[in-house]
Amino acid sequence: MPNPRLTGLGGALLSGALMFVVGCVDQLLFGASLTLYCVLFLPVCVLTGLWVRGAELLSAPVVVPIAFAVGLLPVAKGGDGPGERLAGLVTALATQVGWLYGGTLLAALTVLARGLHRASARRRSAGGRP
């Protein structure tokens, strides 16, 4: 498995791009299924939490909701005008907020586990020093 270490901005770009691609594929193949989109959001949250660098762990739970909104652009129902598209986006965000909170919590738990692991590794390595 690759082990990239992304900055906070890199994590935001990766998760945003992944969710936009997921949204486009969902729109093309499945007719904008919000449930499928939301289920595929969860692995993106875990990957973002795993791949962000240790110094910027707290950025992962911040960027995944933004990525969720970016990916909703091709999936959200709406008309041709910008106002109708915005109304569709806001409606999709409001109706799928449980998935959004769940994915954000998943990213936060991933980051928390990584932070606790780093802290215990530091404590073990410091315990051997005089």
Has residue 24 been placed in a domain?
A: yes
Reduced to 3 states (helix: H, G, I; strand: E, B; else coil), residue 64 is helix
- What's the structural domain count of the chain? 1
Give pLDDT, residue 77: 86
Mean pLDDT of the chain: 92
Has residue 26 been placed in a domain?
A: yes
Per residue in 74-116, pLDDT (tens digit) is 999 887 888 999 999 999 999 999 999 999 999 999 999 999 9
In DSSP terms, 6 is beta-bridged to 52
Has residue 106 been placed in a domain?
A: yes
Has residue 111 been placed in a domain?
A: yes
For residue 105, the tally of other CB atoms under 10 A from its CB is 13
Angle in degrees, CA 112, 55, 113, rounded to 5:
15
Per residue in 21-62, pLDDT (tens digit) is 999 999 999 998 999 999 999 999 999 999 999 889 999 999
Has residue 59 been placed in a domain?
A: yes
Has residue 3 been placed in a domain?
A: no
Has residue 73 been placed in a domain?
A: yes
The pTM of this model reads 0.89
Per residue in 113-125, pLDDT (tens digit) is 999 999 998 888 8
Structural domain that includes position 84: 8-127
Has residue 2 been placed in a domain?
A: no
